[in-house]
């Protein structure tokens, strides 16, 4: 039996009661809304003969008593049931509205809503509609129709929706302890340093604990006391004290040095792996996140971890040893007094568990606001030309002020909380001292303990609260570090949507035959950009793709070059599904020239050679000549050595474009994609580049997207896309005869030229006559 998702027991019983047996069910899917727009469950179940629409009440949220009566949460209760004969249905369509979607069935002339669903279900119902149409036409559904994974949007442990459907990791169920262990797992690579550090720490702690004992107990009771063991040997005692101090300091210096080296190394490794992981990810990961937030992740989160490694974790161990050591020694010296001194400890714990979450919340808010501020600065600086061009400096300053004010406010909040929290903690912790002084003092007078013991005790007491206070901080350290680690691991773990198969097909020599079978795709679940595209491009053919903006032209080439994966249907190159081809082979043989050329900071030479690092100088110059870039490069004072800055701002749009074309020529791909490659070039320059392009296009499969119809003068065939569908295809002459979309576009461009006072013939416009 095939279906889109498993049927829960209650629904199965309801279906059985209506005479639908499990064996009859061919297809089923659950929606989450009634047609009136209330959240409830509705099942669409199709047999070979009919479509059953079953709605019922079952709260989407289980078991919380604030969500209503318990039995509602647990039991499926049927509300309505109706069936429609499949033979009566003319068409099934998943229609996406802005806030939700409708599954519309057309019976006779009448369209009606079979099911309404939230955007969460949009993709599932798109698939449902497609399969139901097949079923309706009497076609059998096969395994292949269900190759897409069973829709599973929720974490099985906690029932939370996955924040990222492509990454089946539930951050909520992600074990923080595991995270911590994983952070620590960066450490074993540096075994030697870790062992050295541990030795230093042990030595340091031991001496630290020893020193008050020698300084007070031994000095007062054994040296100054005439009856003592070392009576009168003041000089030796001071010498021992000094030696302890010196060794202790030496250990601490060694520890600090090794530690600094280690943490810097760990953070270095961490940043490297994060950056590597980011490069590995698919385009969709980057478009869904703001660049500013990504930069914060690499930099600030890694720094957070550095703090933890440097200031947090080692001191945690030192303090833990100190704490245990001190308490042990205190207990040995005077256990009753020790227990009394430790009385306020539960209060401290209470303080940490109750008051600290507030502080953490504020910290995380501070991170968010800072991140938002960073994005804004990033935006404003990247778009500085637009800001200046419209004279909007004041507006930008205003926007900055707004976000900066928020950062200021949240900083103040953090400060306020800290200002209250820490002194109160200090007060609670200070409560031990009067206890020791009063009870201990009385015991000294009565001769129960020596003055040395009391002094030692007071020293230990002051040493005890340091680590204790630190331990309360460590929770905060831990928490913010784990948050940072979580974000970093999210990137490290994110699986690219466009992943290479385990044993990919190697195709080092493509012929360039491209085939698209029923390809559908959308960047967002509720918006299809391309719908059922079928297309074949022969090796060496040049296909011109036309359409209004937003028609899906660029998406088409993004899919062919596999920057994204198709959601339905498949794309084959040389008869092999692109998802099966080794990514390296694919990238090596597909070249793209885009409208918005990105030039990296570096010389012109380096930028052209980007696609082929080993290229000889002759090859590079030849490529530039073909791209009509050589002449302008030669005229630059630094020629090919000219440094181009961020986005090549010291070059004109046309010049940058020509460099991009040179890059593609050098790359020498089997399949060439020109996405508005000459859009930012004036007609005159275009004519120049055109010759370059012509020689580039020769002998390769080329897909050229253009607004300007004259750009496509050499295309063997034209394809017109409108609203994600292929509406026309054929040669220039074919499409003129058709008098459809292409004809209209041609007319419009001619009108536009007329406005400029240019008279053109139809052939000139399409560039056929040269």
Partner 1 sequence: MSTNLPDALAEYAEIVFLAPEKCKFSMTAGGFLALEYGEDKFPVVSAYRSFPLTLGDKYISIRDDKEKEIGIIVDLADFSSDQANLVRAELERRYFTPVVETVVKMKEEFGYIYWEVITDRGPRRFTSRGQHDSIVPVSDTRILILDVDGNRFDVPDVRLLDAKSAKLLESLM
With contacts defined by CB under 8 A, name the span among 574-582, 626-634, 713-721, 749-757 that binds partner 1: 749-757
Which one of residues 365, 399, 647, 725 is an interface residue with partner 1 (CB under 8 A)?
365
Q: 122 vs 571, which CB is nearer to partner 1?
A: 122
User: Residues 509, 669: contact at Cβ < 8 Å?
Assistant: no
DSSP 578: G
Which one of residues 24, 78, 81, 111 is an interface residue with partner 1 (CB under 8 A)?
111
Please state the φ and ψ torsions of residue 43, each to the nearest 5 degrees. Answer: -110, 135
Q: Is 740 in the site for partner 1 (CB under 8 A)?
A: no
* Coil/strand/helix, residue 731: coil
Q: How many residues bind partner 1 (CB under 8 A)?
A: 62
Q: Using CB atoms within 10 A of its CB, is residue 345 exposed (0-12), middle (13-18) or buried (19+)? A: middle
With contacts defined by CB under 8 A, name the span among 96-104, 575-583, 607-615, 633-641 that binds partner 1: 96-104
Q: Is 755 in the site for partner 1 (CB under 8 A)?
A: yes
Query: Among residue numbers 195 through 224, which ones bind partner 1 (CB under 8 A)?
Result: none
Q: 73 vs 331, which CB is nearer to partner 1?
A: 73
With contacts defined by CB under 8 A, name the span among 93-101, 315-323, 504-512, 710-718 that binds partner 1: 93-101
Q: Is 163 in the site for partner 1 (CB under 8 A)?
A: yes
Q: At what angle do helices 653-667 and 683-697 cross, to 10 degrees?
A: 0
Q: At what angle do helices 617-626 and 653-667 cross, to 10 degrees?
A: 130
Q: Is 759 in the site for partner 1 (CB under 8 A)?
A: yes
Q: Which residues contact 466 (CB under 8 A, 6 or more apart)?
A: 319, 322
Integer Cα distance of 630 and 661 in angstroms: 12
Which one of residues 69, 144, 502, 756 is an interface residue with partner 1 (CB under 8 A)?
756
Q: 364 vs 680, which CB is nearer to partner 1?
A: 364
SS3 helix, strand, coil % of the chain, rounded to 5? Answer: 55, 15, 25
Q: 61 vs 150, which CB is nearer to partner 1?
A: 61
With contacts defined by CB under 8 A, name the span among 157-165, 249-257, 417-425, 450-458 that binds partner 1: 157-165
Q: 204 vs 724, which CB is nearer to partner 1?
A: 724
* Residue 729 Cβ vs partner 1, minimum distance, rounded to whole Å: 21
Q: 66 vs 191, which CB is nearer to partner 1?
A: 66
Q: Is 372 in the site for partner 1 (CB under 8 A)?
A: yes
* Coil/strand/helix, residue 762: helix
Integer Cα distance of 766 and 762 in angstroms: 6
Q: Is 68 in the site for partner 1 (CB under 8 A)?
A: yes
Query: Among residue numbers 618 through 677, which ones bind partner 1 (CB under 8 A)?
Result: none
Q: Which helix (H) or strand (E) holds 419?
A: helix 393-430
Integer Cα distance of 668 and 134 in angstroms: 43
Q: Is 38 in the site for partner 1 (CB under 8 A)?
A: yes
Q: 116 vs 656, which CB is nearer to partner 1?
A: 116
Q: Is 414 in the site for partner 1 (CB under 8 A)?
A: no
Which one of residues 160, 399, 647, 687 is an interface residue with partner 1 (CB under 8 A)?
160
Residue 270, both tokens = 């961490």
Q: How far is CA 144 from CA 2, 5, 147, 149, 510, in A?
A: 10, 15, 5, 11, 27
Query: Among residue numbers 219 through 278, which ones bind partner 1 (CB under 8 A)?
Result: none
Closest CA to 581 of 566, 608, 597, 562: 562
Q: For tokens 């698209």, what's the residue? A: 516
Integer Cα distance of 15 and 13 in angstroms: 5
Q: Is 368 in the site for partner 1 (CB under 8 A)?
A: yes
DSSP character string of 230-254: TTT-HHHHHHHHHHHHHHHHHHHHH
- Whether the CA torsion 23, 25, 29, 32 is positive or negative: it is negative
* Residue 118 Cβ vs partner 1, minimum distance, rounded to whole Å: 5
What x/- string results for residues 476 through 515 when contact with partner 1 is judged by CB under 8 A?
-------x--xx--x-------------------------
With contacts defined by CB under 8 A, name the span among 132-140, 155-163, 454-462, 762-770 that binds partner 1: 155-163
Integer Cα distance of 580 and 573 in angstroms: 10
Query: Among residue numbers 541 through 570, which ones bind partner 1 (CB under 8 A)?
Result: none
Q: Is 66 in the site for partner 1 (CB under 8 A)?
A: yes
* Residue 171 Cβ vs partner 1, minimum distance, rounded to whole Å: 4
Give the CA dihedral 629, 630, 631, 634, nearest 10 degrees: 120
Q: Is 120 in the site for partner 1 (CB under 8 A)?
A: yes
Binding residues vs partner 1 (CB under 8 A): 33, 35, 37-40, 59-61, 64, 66-68, 97-100, 102, 104, 110-113, 116, 118-120, 122, 159-165, 171-172, 174, 289-290, 293, 361, 364-365, 368, 371-372, 375, 483, 486-487, 490, 524-526, 751-752, 754-757, 759
């Amino acid at each position: 039996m095939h279906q889109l998702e498993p049927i829960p027991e209650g629904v199965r019983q309801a279906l059985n009661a209506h005479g639908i047996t499990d064996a009859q069910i061919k297809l089923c899917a659950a929606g989450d809304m009634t047609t009136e727009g209330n959240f409830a469950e509705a099942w669409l179940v199709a047999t070979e003969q009919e479509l059953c629409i079953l709605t019922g009440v079952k709260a989407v949220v289980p078991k919380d008593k604030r969500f209503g009566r318990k039995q509602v949460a647990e039991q499926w209760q049927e509300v309505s049931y109706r069936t429609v004969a499949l033979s009566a249905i003319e068409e099934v369509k998943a229609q996406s509205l802005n806030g939700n979607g409708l599954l519309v069935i057309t019976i006779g002339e009448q369209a009606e809503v079979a099911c309404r669903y939230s955007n969460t279900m949009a993709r599932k119902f798109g698939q449902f509609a497609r399969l139901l149409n097949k079923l309706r036409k009497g076609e059998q559904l096969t395994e292949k129709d269900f190759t897409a994974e069973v829709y599973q949007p929720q974490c099985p442990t906690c029932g939370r929706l996955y924040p990222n459907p492509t990454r089946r990791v539930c951050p909520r169920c992600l074990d923080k302890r595991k995270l911590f262990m994983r952070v620590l797992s960066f450490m074993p690579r540096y075994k030697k340093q870790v062992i050295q550090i541990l030795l230093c720490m042990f030595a340091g702690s031991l001496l630290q604990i020893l020193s008050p004992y020698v300084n007070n107990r031994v000095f007062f009771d054994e040296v100054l006391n005439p009856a003592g063991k070392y009576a009168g040997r003041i000089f030796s005692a001071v010498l021992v004290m000094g030696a302890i101090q010196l060794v202790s300091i030496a250990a601490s210096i060694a520890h600090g040095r090794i530690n600094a080296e280690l943490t810097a190394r760990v953070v270095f490794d961490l940043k490297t792996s994060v950056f590597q992981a980011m490069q590995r990810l698919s385009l969709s990961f980057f478009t869904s996140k703001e660049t500013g937030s990504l930069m914060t992740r690499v930099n600030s989160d890694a720094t957070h971890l550095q703090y933890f490694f440097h200031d947090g974790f080692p001191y945690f161990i030192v303090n833990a040893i100190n704490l245990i050591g001190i308490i042990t020694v205190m207990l040995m010296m005077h256990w009753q007094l020790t227990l009394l001194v430790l009385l306020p400890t539960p209060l401290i714990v209470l303080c940490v568990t109750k008051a600290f979450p507030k502080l953490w919340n504020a910290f995380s808010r501070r991170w968010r606001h800072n991140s938002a501020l960073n994005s804004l600065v990033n935006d404003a600086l990247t778009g500085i030309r637009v800001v200046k061009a419209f004279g909007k400096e004041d507006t930008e300053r205003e926007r900055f002020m707004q976000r900066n004010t928020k950062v200021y406010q949240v900083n103040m909040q953090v400060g306020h909380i800290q200002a209250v929290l820490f002194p109160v903690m200090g007060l609670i912790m200070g409560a031990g001292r009067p206890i020791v002084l009063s009870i201990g003092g009385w015991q000294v007078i009565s001769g129960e303990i020596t003055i040395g013991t009391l002094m030692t005790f007071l020293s230990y007491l002051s040493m005890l609260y340091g680590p204790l206070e630190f331990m309360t901080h460590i929770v905060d350290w831990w928490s913010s570090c784990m948050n940072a680690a979580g974000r970093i691991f999210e990137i490290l773990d994110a699986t690219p949507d466009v992943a290479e198969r385990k044993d990919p097909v190697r195709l080092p020599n493509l012929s360039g035959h491209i085939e698209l079978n029923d390809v559908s795709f959308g960047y967002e679940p509720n918006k299809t950009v391309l719908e059922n595209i079928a297309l074949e491009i022969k090796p060496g053919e040049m296909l011109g793709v036309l359409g209004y903006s937003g028609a899906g032209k660029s998406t088409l080439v993004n899919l062919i070059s596999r920057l994204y994966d198709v959601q339905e249907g498949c794309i084959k190159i040389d008869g092999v599904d692109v998802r099966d081809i080794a990514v390296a082979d694919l990238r090596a043989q597909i070249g793209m020239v885009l409208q918005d050329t990105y030039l990296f900071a570096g010389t012109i030479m380096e930028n052209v050679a980007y696609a082929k690092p080993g290229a000889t100088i002759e090859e590079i110059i030849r490529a530039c000549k073909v791209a009509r870039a050589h002449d302008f490069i030669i005229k630059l004072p630094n020629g090919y050595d000219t440094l181009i800055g961020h986005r090549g701002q010291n070059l004109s749009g046309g010049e940058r474009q020509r460099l991009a074309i040179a890059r593609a020529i050098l790359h020498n791909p089997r399949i060439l994609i020109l996405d508005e490659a000459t859009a930012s070039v004036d007609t005159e320059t275009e004519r120049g580049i055109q010759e370059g392009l012509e020689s580039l296009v020769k002998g390769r499969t080329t897909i050229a997207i253009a607004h300007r119809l004259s750009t496509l003068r050499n295309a063997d065939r034209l394809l017109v896309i409108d609203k994600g569908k292929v509406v026309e295809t054929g040669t220039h002459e074919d499409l003129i005869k058709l008098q459809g979309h292409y004809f209209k576009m041609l007319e419009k461009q001619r009108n536009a030229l007329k406005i400029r006072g240019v008279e053109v013939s139809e052939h000139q416009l399409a560039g056929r006559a040269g």
